Amino acid sequence: MKLRSLKKWCALAALLCLHPAVGSLYYAGHLADRYYVPADSTLELHCALPVTAAQGGSDAALRLYGIFPIKQVAVEPAEEIRLIPGGAPFGVRMLMDGVMVIGFGTVETPDGSACPALEAGLQEGDVIRCADHVPLAGTAAFREAVARGEPLLLTVERDGTLHELPLTPVFSRSDGWCTGLWVRDSTAGIGTITFYDPETGDFGGLGHPICDPDTGERIPLGHGTADSVTISGAVRGRAGEPGALQGYFAADAPLGTLTGNCESGIFGTLDTPPEGEAVPMAFKQEIRLGDAQILSTVYGTQPQSYDVRITAIDYTDDTRNMILEVTDKDLLALTGGIVQGMSGSPILQDGKLVGAVTHVFVGEPAMGYGIFAETMYGQSRS
């Protein structure tokens, strides 16, 4: 697998060297269109081939070998951002903003089988926000509205757009008034804290959203808490079988409050600042291929540092920005590589916070994806 990958990159490098026009087109599609640059600094890019940036005002002209035009990019000055790296596990308890449709069933009525929910046009992944313009606080509130046996006007969110759908329950001799809907209003899980911002008290974790296990849709956060967790062990990952951290929620008071379940992670505030010194956050162009470290907790409550290697960087994907390879013998022996629950483990390189672990390669557990810290931090402030 690694030999094939090496041959592919060598062939690509040779092609780009021989044909500068191909190289320019390649980098035009694979380099970002906007960069943040520390004050009093100029834009520098880490690429396989020399790419220069001729900066003028708020723009920079990228050129291959300093000669062949690639494209114009936006450059914005930014102050140094210092964050406390995480690595500690935390529990997520989320109550949705409404109820999510996760499936359908058939209702047996005196007149035969029916499914009013499907007839109304509802779909898996829909989030029902209101019934008759009254916000739904959870599944119990939805059941109470259905139990009245009267037609309902549902306010439904689908793909970010609100729709109004009429739903009329039918009567079942065994179950009373029914709609044929399966719904969910809450979820819980374990992840890893990526960073804490000492200036605001905010934290970010996971590096990806929490999604419903049945529909795959991002769960809309009504309110939730970040809770203390103790990791008791790990199921080792194997090719085709992702591993997982095992742990339990502690009886302590919550660590903090959740404020967002977003594409780049879970965000919230912590009641007590974590231990540790703040380090600079790397902007995406400062990250390089090569050795790095992750902070993760695979037993107990204290994070440990493990060696990884950044093998690829993608500036164009919204969240899967880096490919990581675990090289640490201790971590490979304990977990087989990256396992579920390690999502959010901070990645450090050259003394800077560069990103977070997000996903494992199912077929190769020593490999996984990472997200830029710049992306997570930006979403935490929006």
Q: What is the pLDDT of residues 238-266, one digit of tens each?
A: 888 888 998 888 777 789 999 999 999 99
pLDDT over threshold 80, residue 382: no
Q: What is the mean pLDDT of the chain?
A: 90
Helices and strands counted in the chain (H then E): 6, 28
What pLDDT, on the 0 to 100 scale, is given for residue 147?
93
The predicted model gives 60-78 an average pLDDT of 92
Q: What are 2's two structure tokens? A: 């690694």
pLDDT over threshold 90, residue 168: yes
8 Å CB contact between 201 and 184:
no
pLDDT over threshold 90, residue 281: yes
Q: With pLDDT > 70 as the criterion, what percentage of the chain qualifies?
A: 95
The one catalytic residue among 24, 343, 345, 380: 343
328 annotated active-site: yes
8 Å CB contact between 349 and 288:
yes
Q: Model confidence over 81-139: pLDDT tens digits?
A: 999 999 999 999 998 889 999 999 999 998 889 999 999 999 999 999 999 999 998 89
CATH class entry, domain 106-179: mainly beta
8 Å CB contact between 253 and 87:
no
368 band by pLDDT with thresholds 50, 70 and 90: very high
10 band by pLDDT with thresholds 50, 70 and 90: low
Contacts of 213 (CB under 8 A, 6+ apart): none
pLDDT over threshold 60, residue 350: yes
133 annotated active-site: no
Q: What are 21's two structure tokens? A: 């026009």
Judge whether 82-93+189-381 and 106-179 match in fold. Answer: no
Coil, helix or strand at residue 4 = helix
Distance between CA atoms of residues 122 and 153, nearest Å? 12
8 Å CB contact between 284 and 274:
no
The one catalytic residue among 264, 328, 345, 380: 328
The one catalytic residue among 197, 202, 208, 212: 208
- Residue 10, phi then psi, degrees to nearest 5: -65, -40
Q: Name the pTM for this structure.
A: 0.84
Q: With pLDDT > 90 as the criterion, what percentage of the chain qualifies?
A: 65
The predicted model gives 159-182 an average pLDDT of 92
Q: Does CATH number 2.40.10.120 belong to domain 82-93+189-381?
A: yes
Distance between CA atoms of residues 109 and 112, nearest Å? 5
pLDDT over threshold 60, residue 15: no
Distance between CA atoms of residues 340 and 189, nearest Å? 10
How many C-beta atoms surround the C-beta of residue 189 within 10 A?
Answer: 17
What pLDDT, on the 0 to 100 scale, is given for residue 8?
58
343 annotated active-site: yes
Give the domain ranges of the chain. 2-78, 82-93+189-381, 106-179
176 CA to centre of own chain = 41
Q: Model confidence over 184-211: pLDDT tens digits?
A: 998 888 899 999 999 999 999 999 999 8
